[in-house]
Structure 1
């Protein structure tokens, strides 16, 4: 699963099933069905539904590995809490004896690249177990596509935890960022404590402002008979091992690096829109005819969660500019861009880039 999207958990304590049979695996020396059970999620924040899954895992396994997703992404209204903060939420929800059996490990996203994400999962699990052939299982819920990872690891048995008590982290997080206090009937006290402490920080203040911006943005479409779907374009421009980026001038993602791009106009093609946005935001000193002739490829990126503004599909165009002994073309930020700049590919950082732009670059360029 390239993007760890487990926000909703459905739990039953009386109907836990294993796809290969509860008793198909011999118990270990301490009487547990598994040496390790792995639970993958974003836990933004860790709530009582998540805790119920861990409670079940502690009954079945000697150790529980919590793979905390989206570890490499910048702080945003979707990814508000750091790996460290989420680890505190998780470990603080259990007594010392059980907490010592829980291992929290940050798991990077690899959106649009399942193979790389599976590699990340294997590496994270091995960092705890030391051996991928150990007695390992996966635990999660079989409610929706966000947990399809349960079927991706044929060497590990999976424990599916279906319906009993449904909770979603999304309304808890969104309400909190809009100013509400966390409710202890939805989250453990440890989570409430971490959230209350976070509320006093400058990071919370920034996210609170951005959450308000997004809330007002979405209210513009409240009278629409259907939820809107937006179409945008992005330009991936490469020359001599450098990529052309902009720094965002305003919310959402103010101050983050981004690909040049934006919304299409009603009467233009996607490619024309990309050329226009590229020239408006970067003032790239390359003739338009050369740009058009430098198009290498294009790809659609449509992850449903890629934008906080709502359902947004983008078409990315990859431009390969020829090496020039005179150096890189001059650029200057314009329109929605505070500045434009060339960045060596070696200095790309996922936690500096807006939305899914890092994943787009990796997919288009082959990083």
Structure 2
């Protein structure tokens, strides 16, 4: 007969990478419950300095923190982000957890479940979004946090300051191997670009960093969406919505159409584009862009289709590696290749068709 208080303990995090604080939460979950479900967030995101490691890589790091006898008591599941709708994100986690409980032959509604976490600051607000699970709070652990680890790790000049003893053995071993990959070199380039970018555009002598204003165009025609492949950092190689920064003397919709025309050479007259604009929305998640606080205004254009001439002609600008019309069904499976939050911006206008 088990003396553990709970049947299941839930640990939620991004684990980018796994550090001693994460390890302590999982260990506490194992002490408190028969089984632990580790929910790995930001699943299906393209590699970036903020989210450098895939779900499979993070699961490997999680499992490397476990003793052999614990492996069978831990399940690891991935859940995608939903930056503009907490309810979708909450439902995704609830569904993932309930599926695993049901697979064990238990009724999810009757299972005794704990949510193990540490309320460190405002970023931990998500721990209060699951009132049907009993919250088990933990004290902080003296260790490098994931942001500090990434900051040192992807800066080759300062990587030596990150000692193996600063991280769990499994994480340290994984990071050592990852330094020998092309992905690591690419992420180091991106980190250097972002550091230079922030240094150039900060307000000298001001305590307030700049807030950028951008526009993005969601353009659809006959079941296709128009995407550009980024040629340069940040997000080099990922697919994005056409868009960019607003000029000093531009209105927002004018800027969206200008950027759309410049990046894609879309052969649709400006008056027709203005008449095809169906909706707009502001996307302001504070961490949506790695370049700094950036608020974007999305514009949705639905083009009339001429079945005799086919999809409207497009051609990549010098700043884009490629531009193409992508079937919407294909787009919905491209989340891990879409830049920043553009997948969610598009889905706002497409009616939330995206998979989560």
The answer to whether TM tops 0.5 is yes
Point out the more displaced range, 353-362 or 216-225.
216-225
Q: Counterpart in 2 of 1:17?
A: none
- For residue 140 of structure 1, report the CA deviation from its aligned partner: 1.3
Write the mapping of 1:242-261 to structure 2, written as runs, cut at 5 A. Answer: 242-261=224-243
TM, length-normalised to structure 2: 0.91
Instruction: Output aligned runs, 1:1-367, within 5 Å.
Output: 29-130=1-102, 131-133=107-109, 134-163=111-140, 165=142, 167-179=144-156, 180-181=159-160, 182-221=162-201, 223-225=204-206, 226-326=208-308, 327-348=310-331, 349-366=334-351, 367=353
Is the CA contact (8 Å cut-off) linking 2:20 and 2:141 kept in structure 1?
Answer: no
- What is the alpha-carbon distance in structure 2 between the residues aligned to residue 32 and residue 55 of structure 1? 13
Q: How far is 1:210 from its partner?
A: 1.1
* Contact persistence 1:237–1:320 (CA under 8 A): yes
Alpha carbons of 1:334 and 1:201: their partners in 2 closer, same or farther (altered >3 Å)? Answer: same
Deviates more, 1:64-73 or 1:213-222: 213-222
TM-score, structure 1 normalization: 0.88
Shift of 1:119: 2.4
1:260–1:277 Cα contact (<8 Å) kept: yes
Superposition deviation, residue 94 in structure 1: 2.5
Q: Given that residues 113 and 363 in structure 1 are in contact (C-alpha distance below 8 angstroms), is that contact kept between their aligned partners in structure 2?
A: no
Matches of 2:286 and 2:63 in 1, distance apart? 31
Residues 273-282 or 86-95, more deviating: 86-95
Q: Is the 8 A contact 1:35 1:61 kept in 2?
A: yes
The 10-residue stretch of structure 1 (146-155 or 257-266) with the greater mean CA deviation from structure 2: 146-155
The alpha-carbon deviation at position 209 of structure 1 amounts to 1.2
Query: Displacement of 1:168 after TM fit?
Result: 2.1
Runs (4+) of structure 1 exceeding 6 A deviation are none
3-state SS of paired residue (1:36) = strand
Describe the shift of the 1:97–1:87 C-alpha distance in structure 2 as closer, same or farther (beyond 3 A): same
CA contact (8 A) 2:20 2:143 kept: no
Q: Secondary structure at the match of 2:115?
A: strand
Aligned to 1:15: none
- Show structure 1 runs of 5+ residues with no match: 1-28
Which structure's residues are more often helix, by fraction?
Answer: 2
Q: 1:164 offset after TM fit, Å?
A: 5.5
CA contact under 8 A between 1:122 and 1:132: conserved in structure 2?
no
Given that residues 331 and 340 in structure 1 are in contact (C-alpha distance below 8 angstroms), is that contact kept between their aligned partners in structure 2?
A: yes
Deviations 1:23-55 (CA, angstroms, capped at 9, x unpaired): xxxxxx411111111111101011111112222
Contact kept, 8 Å, 2:10 with 2:38, in 1: the verdict is yes
Deviation, 1:358, is: 0.4
- Is the 1:300–1:314 contact (alpha carbons within 8 Å) kept by the matching residues of 2? yes
Deviation string 1:93-116 (CA, Å, 9 cap, x unpaired) is: 222122332221111222212232
Q: Which runs of 5+ in 2 are unaligned?
A: none
RMSD, aligned CA? 1.7
The size of the alignment, in residue pairs, is 339
CA 198–37 in structure 1, closer or farther in 2 if over 3 Å, else same: same
